[in-house]
Amino acid sequence: VILTDFTRLESETSANEAAEKEQFENFMFESKKDQALKENESKHKQAKKTDKEGALHAAEEELKTTQGQLNAALKYYQKLKPTCVDSGISYEERVKRRQAEMQSLQEALQILSGEDVAA
């Protein structure tokens, strides 16, 4: 009876050990496969991060250049604004002054040309 129990126990233990070994080997295979997959994903994500950082750096440089151009344009605009935009004179008054200036220039041209001014 002891011998049969021992034989049966040895048989069950061997079967359990074989099943556990197979389960362990499957686990190790799946773990290595998962590890390789995650390492590959990590490499891709790192490369993508590097690309994005390069694009960000380029965009920041472009922003800096564009901001400098904008600041220069605004400075120039502020310089021109008083003479071009708000002279404190209405449009009609500016038209009258321009007409008078053109008339004066025409008369000066006639005088210099030797023509009669009264005509």
Total residue count of the chain as it appears in this document: 119
| Per-residue pLDDT, 62 | 98
Q: Which of 44, 22, 23, 42 lies closest to 34, judged by CA?
A: 42
| Per-residue pLDDT, 91 | 82
Radius of gyration of the chain (CA): 46
Q: Are 85 and 78 in contact, with CB atoms under 8 Å apart?
A: no
Euclidean distance between CA atoms 82 and 15, whole angstroms = 98
| Per-residue pLDDT, 118 | 57
Q: Are 87 and 94 in contact, with CB atoms under 8 Å apart?
A: yes
pLDDT digit of tens for each residue in the chain (119 aa)? 788 888 999 999 999 999 999 999 999 999 999 999 999 999 999 999 999 999 999 999 999 999 999 999 999 999 888 777 666 778 888 899 999 999 999 999 999 988 775 54
Helices and strands per DSSP (H, E), number in the chain: 2, 0
| Per-residue pLDDT, 100 | 96
| Per-residue pLDDT, 101 | 96
pTM exceeds cut of 0.75: no
Euclidean distance between CA atoms 52 and 55, whole angstroms = 5
